[in-house]
Amino acid sequence: MDWSELSTASLRPGWHLLRMRVEYCLRVISEEEALEKILSAVPSSPPTEVLLRDALDRFAAADLFATIPIPPFDNSAMDGYAVVAESARKDTRLKIVGEQPAGISKNLSLSAGQAVRIFTGAPMPKGADTVVMQEETQREGDFVRVRTKQISEGDFVRQAGADLAIGQQIIKRGDRLRPTTLALLASQGIRSVTVGKPAQVAVVTTGDELVAPGKKLRAGQIFESNGVMLAALVGKADAKLSMRRHCRDNFDDLCEALRDATQYDAAIISGGVSVGERDFVREALQEIGAEIDLWRVAVKPGKPFLFGKHDQCRIFGLP
C-alpha cells in the first residue's frame, strides 16, 4: 500500500491509528530527544553502601556535602618561623618562644617581636599571621634574624576552609567516584559511601559473517570485535556482564537468545536492527513481547538505533 492508498483508507474507521503508527515508526528523532527518552525510561539502580576502598569508579547514589573545612585549621605551608608580620622587618631579631611540629597542637601563642619555629602542616600559634621561610632567616641562639626584604600578612599560611568550606558540595548523585574524590571523602572522616548497585547486562552480537577471534576465517567472514568492545564498556560503566552470546542470522535462535538476555537489567544487541531481509532483531523482540520505544536516530553512522523494554529489562539495539 502506497501513501495515496493509505490516505484513502484513512477515511475508514481505525485506519487513522495505523497511519499514525507508520508515521511514528518512519520518524527520525534527534540524538537529544533520543537521550531524553532513554534517560526518562531507565530506572535508578538500588543503593548499596561500600567501603571507600571498594568504591573506585562506582557511581554515587546520593549528594554529599562537607562537614569539615579543608584545611580544618590555619596551618603553615612551609618550614620556617611563625611571626607577626608587622614586627618582622628585614634584619629584625625575634625571640624564639617555642616550636610547633605537624601533629597535635601545643596551643602556643606569640606576640610582636616573637617567633615560633614551625613546620609544614603544623597549626599556626595564636597571634601569628605569617610564616617566614627558614631559607630567609638566620638562627642566632634563642633568636632568629629575618633576612627577607618584604613580608606580608598571610604569607605561607593556609587558611582554614580555603580548599573546602563547610556545606560545600563534594559529590552529586550520579557522579563517578574517582581517586581524588575518594581522597576528599576520606578527608571528611567518611569510611563508606552509598553507590548504585551494579546493573546486570547481557550482550548479544549477531551476524553470519562474524567469527570469534582466534578461529579461522573463511572467505567473506570477519572477526567479531563489537562484542569485545561492548563487554569492556559494560565493565567500565560499573555494571556486571552476566551474559554474552553470538547469534547467527536465524530468527528462532535470535528469539531464544533475546529471551535469555532480557532476564537481566539491560540487554545490548549489536547488529540486525536495520531493515535488511536478514535483520531480525525488531521482529524477534516483538515476538518475545518486548516494546520498542524508539528506532531511528538522526546520527551517522548509527541511524537505526533501537531502544525498548521487556519487563524490567531495558533494551539497546546498535546497527
Residue 19: inside a domain, yes or no?
no
| Domain co-membership, 151 together with 168 | no
| Domain co-membership, 58 together with 178 | yes
Domain count, the chain: 3
∠86-88-89 over CA atoms, to 5°? 95
Q: What is the pTM of this model?
A: 0.72
pLDDT in tens, the chain (319 residues): 444 444 444 445 555 555 544 444 557 888 899 999 999 999 888 999 999 999 999 999 999 999 999 999 999 999 999 999 999 999 999 999 999 999 999 999 999 999 999 999 999 999 999 999 999 999 999 999 999 988 999 999 999 999 999 999 999 999 999 999 999 999 999 999 999 999 999 999 998 888 899 899 989 889 999 999 999 999 999 899 999 999 988 899 999 999 999 999 999 999 876 666 667 888 899 999 999 988 888 888 767 888 999 999 999 988 8
- How many residues are given for the chain? 319
Residue 9: inside a domain, yes or no?
no
Residues sharing a CB contact under 8 Å with residue 252, sequence separation 6 or more, in sequence order: none
| Domain co-membership, 154 together with 260 | no
Residue at grid coordinates 627577607: 148
| Domain co-membership, 208 together with 292 | yes
| Domain co-membership, 64 together with 188 | yes
For residue 101, the enclosing domain spans 75-158
| Domain co-membership, 123 together with 60 | no
Residues sharing a CB contact under 8 Å with residue 249, sequence separation 6 or more, in sequence order: 206, 207, 208, 272, 278, 280
| 8 A C-beta contact, residue 98 and residue 117 | yes
At 85 the three-state DSSP class reads helix
Q: Is 302 left (phi over 0), alpha (psi -120 to 50) or beta?
A: left
Classify residue 211 by burial, with Cβ atoms within 10 Å: 0-12, 13-18, 19+: middle
